[in-house]
């Protein structure tokens, strides 16, 4: 038995682009809005919501200050008009193929033609495309189109532009196109079915003809996933559409020799990998079903007392067995290999003479008066009971990551292998899971199949709850001026985002340093630890403004303690303007050298004499303490006679 996966399963270019744009926007903006699902996949939408992208159902829920993510399916023309009207910023993740459809329909409207769209009338993509012309008509198949043409013969003479939904079944489009070419006198046909969609559908159809069972993975709202399922059912009698591996059932694969797997364009690679792994395991289990631990115990029962739990006292520890006093006429013995599941464990490290020990009776010999016991088997049963209780009561367990498996990692929890899918590992999409090997992690058990000895867990569930609790703690206690120690998570040209314990705050570039800097990278890097304080916050919008500069060390105070009018300072030119140059007198305090005070002659521009970074001597000619402004002059040092003009000219420049 084997599983064959279609080559073109999963994300297409348009979906990958939309998800990437959404992730970048959520990280950089910290708070943005998804107008509907960015793609038809609940798992992806949930991950984006964790990054701070909240989902709304309609434009009335959008505020002017919001950053709006336009989904891959595109939007109606009136939606764009409304967003522009209220001044909301848009990040357009519309698939390029859908965008071309909108443009074709808009051009047809301008030319006075009637756009005909072959697709699902209530699909978001089709509704959006149709809105770009008041004359748009939508038909879900050739039969409805034929009936429309027959109802009124005059319709055959209309100028028509025909297009197809990007995920339309090719047979529906081609039959509809033939009808239009045969019946209409003035028609333009545009085959707008996505090439990736056509390739995926063709591969799925071919694979379905070769297998006994076909599994299609994708969100139930996804049109292209639904079409894949319809196509596969034409060639295979056993087709199952699922959203995740959790929906797979053993009975799907009864009598199956070869199973096929494909996925819609909105299905992440991690989910496909997880489904593939689970299918492979289920098929192997159908080939050779291992007897469960309980069945093996039942087969070993030979007397009425066999299988009972008994408690005794360790009386002796030998090289091959441990002797136990059971308080009755039979002596109890535990073979060394029945003492622990760890083959390297030493008996003296597990039990000591005089210890009370609980065991299973695995065999009783009444004639010779002894009972063979097992501590290992009882421990195994207890562990499984603990695992099942942990799932029912949502108890957090700890374990060590032992290996990377197909589709995820394996965590050893009390000797039980717990499979954690990649999507539940708590790591970013595409991260190297092998780096987690050897680490101790906390997880929640989400699925237990004791008969198959299969346990599935989630690290992400624990980390998500911990992060949510940390976020709640911060928002409940945040106040202006409060200090935090945070980590730089990302950088932009205008500042950095700092994680202060589950919540990101923004440090504007002007708050990073008293000195003038052009880019945050001059003073910090991603991963740096920063001591920050809260300047302001908006709990409703989930925005925090942070500062780094120490207000107790104001550079202006240092300047006033060091200099006064008439002093000469060695300054650094930091910026050239048309009217003069700004120079740093002390770190964090700049003064202006007016163009008339740069040289003892007339110059066209400051750059004729000065350059950024240059060190020069300048005389302090004026200090405005209230506005914290300083006037400087190089000319005053070159031509003392001109000194009387300095203050007046500098004040004019202000």
The whole-angstrom separation of Cα 526 and Cα 520 is 10
- Confirm if 142 and 89 have CB atoms less than 8 A apart: no
Q: How far apart are CA 496 and CA 508, in angstroms?
A: 7
Torsion of CA 348, 351, 352, 356, to 10 degrees: -170
Residue with tokens 């072959």: 118
CA distances from 145 to 149, 178, 179, 186, 491 (A): 6, 11, 8, 16, 54
The continuous run of DSSP H or E covering 491 comes out as strand 483-492
Rounded-to-integer distance, Cα 181 and Cα 189, Å = 9
CA 114 to CA 162: how far, in whole Å? 8
Between CA 406 and CA 415, with CA 409 as vertex, the angle to 5 degrees is: 120
Nearest to 218 by CA among 373, 372, 6: 6
483, 489, 490, 496: CA torsion to nearest 10: 10
87: left (phi over 0), alpha (psi -120 to 50) or beta: left
The candidate with the shortest Cα–Cα distance to 32, out of 49, 15, 14, is 49
**Nearest 10 degrees: CA dihedral of 532, 533, 535, 537?**
90
In our burial notation (b when 16+ CB lie closer than 10 A, e otherwise), range 348-367 reads eebbeeeeebebbbbbbeee
331-335/321-325 β-pairing = antiparallel
CB 161 within 8 A of CB 113: yes
SS3 for 201? helix
Distance CA 334, CA 370 (A): 11
Token readout for 382 is 């207890």
* Rounded CA separation 555/585 (Å): 10
Catalytic residues: 125
DSSP 8-state code for residue 157: G
Per the DSSP assignment, residues forming a β-bridge with 309 are: 360
> 324, 316 in Cβ contact below 8 A?
no
d(CA 321, CA 366): 19
What DSSP state is assigned to residue 158?
S
CA 552 → CA 175, 555, 558, distances in Å?
77, 9, 11
Other Cβ atoms closer than 10 A to 544: 25
């Amino acid at each position: 038995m084997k599983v064959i996966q279609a080559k073109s399963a999963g994300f297409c270019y348009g979906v990958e682009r939309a998800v990437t744009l959404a992730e970048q926007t959520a990280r950089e903006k910290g708070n943005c809005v998804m107008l509907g699902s960015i793609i038809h996949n609940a798992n992806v939408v949930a991950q984006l919501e964790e990054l701070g992208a909240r989902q709304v159902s309609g434009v009335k829920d959008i505020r002017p200050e919001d950053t709006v993510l336009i989904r891959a399916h595109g939007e109606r023309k009136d939606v764009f008009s409304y967003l522009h009207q209220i001044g909301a910023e848009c990040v357009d993740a519309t698939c390029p193929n859908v965008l071309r459809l909108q443009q074709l329909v808009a051009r047809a409207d301008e030319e006075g033609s009637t756009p005909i769209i072959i697709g699902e009338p209530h699909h978001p993509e089709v509704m959006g495309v149709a809105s770009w012309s008041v004359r748009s008509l939508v038909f879900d198949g050739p039969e409805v189109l034929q009936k429309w043409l027959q109802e009124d013969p005059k319709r055959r003479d209309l100028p028509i532009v025909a297009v197809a939904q990007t995920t339309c079944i090719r047979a529906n489009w081609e039959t509809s196109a033939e009808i239009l070419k045969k019946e209409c006198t003035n028609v333009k046909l545009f085959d707008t079915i996505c090439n990736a969609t056509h390739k995926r559908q063709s591969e799925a159809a071919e694979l379905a003809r070769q297998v006994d069972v076909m599994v299609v993975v994708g969100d139930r709202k996804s049109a292209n996933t639904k079409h894949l399922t319809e196509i596969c059912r034409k060639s295979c009698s056993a087709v199952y559409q699922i959203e995740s591996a959790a929906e797979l059932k053993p009975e799907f694969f009864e009598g199956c020799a070869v199973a096929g797997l494909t996925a819609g364009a909105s299905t992440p690679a991690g989910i496909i990998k997880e489904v593939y792994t689970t299918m492979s395991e289920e098929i192997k289990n159908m080939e050779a079903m291992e007897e469960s631990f309980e069945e093996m115990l039942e087969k070993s029962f030979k007397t009425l007392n066999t299988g009972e739990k008994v408690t005794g006292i360790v009386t002796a520890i030998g090289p091959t067995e441990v002797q136990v006093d059971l308080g009755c006429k039979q002596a109890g013995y535990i073979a060394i290999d029945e003492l622990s599941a760890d083959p390297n464990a030493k008996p003296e490290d597990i039990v000591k003479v005089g210890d009370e020990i609980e065991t299973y009776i695995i065999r009783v010999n009444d004639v010779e008066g002894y009972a063979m016991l097992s501590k290992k088997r009882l421990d195994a049963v207890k562990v499984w009971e603990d695992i099942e209780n942990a799932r029912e009561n949502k108890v957090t367990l700890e374990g060590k990551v032992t290996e990377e498996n197909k589709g995820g990692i394996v965590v050893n929890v009390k000797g039980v292998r717990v499979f954690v899918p990649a999507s539940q590992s708590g790591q970013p999409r595409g991260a190297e899971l092998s780096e987690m090997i050897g680490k101790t992690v906390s997880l929640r058990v989400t699925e237990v199949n004791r008969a198959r000895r299969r346990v599935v867990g989630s690290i992400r569930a624990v980390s998500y709850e911990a992060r949510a609790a940390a976020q709640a703690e911060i928002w409940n206690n945040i106040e202006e001026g409060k200090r935090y120690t945070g980590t730089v998570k990302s950088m932009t040209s205008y500042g950095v985002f700092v994680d202060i314990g589950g919540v990101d705050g923004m440090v504007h570039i002007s708050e990073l340093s008293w000195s003038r800097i052009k880019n945050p990278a001059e003073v910090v890097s991603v991963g740096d630890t920063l001591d920050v304080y809260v300047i302001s916050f908006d709990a409703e919008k989930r925005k925090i403004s942070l500062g780094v500069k120490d207000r107790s060390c104001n550079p202006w105070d240092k300047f006033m303690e060091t200099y006064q009018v008439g002093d000469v300072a060695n300054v650094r030119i930091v910026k050239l303007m048309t009217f003069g140059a700004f120079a740093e007198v002390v770190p964090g305090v700049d003064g202006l050298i007016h163009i008339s005070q740069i040289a003892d002659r007339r110059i066209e521009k400051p750059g004729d004499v000065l350059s950024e970074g240059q060190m020069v001597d300048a005389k302090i000619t004026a200090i405005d303490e209230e506005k914290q402004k300083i006037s400087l002059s190089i000319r005053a040092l070159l031509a003392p006679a001109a000194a009387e003009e300095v203050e007046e000219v500098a004040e004019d420049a202000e």
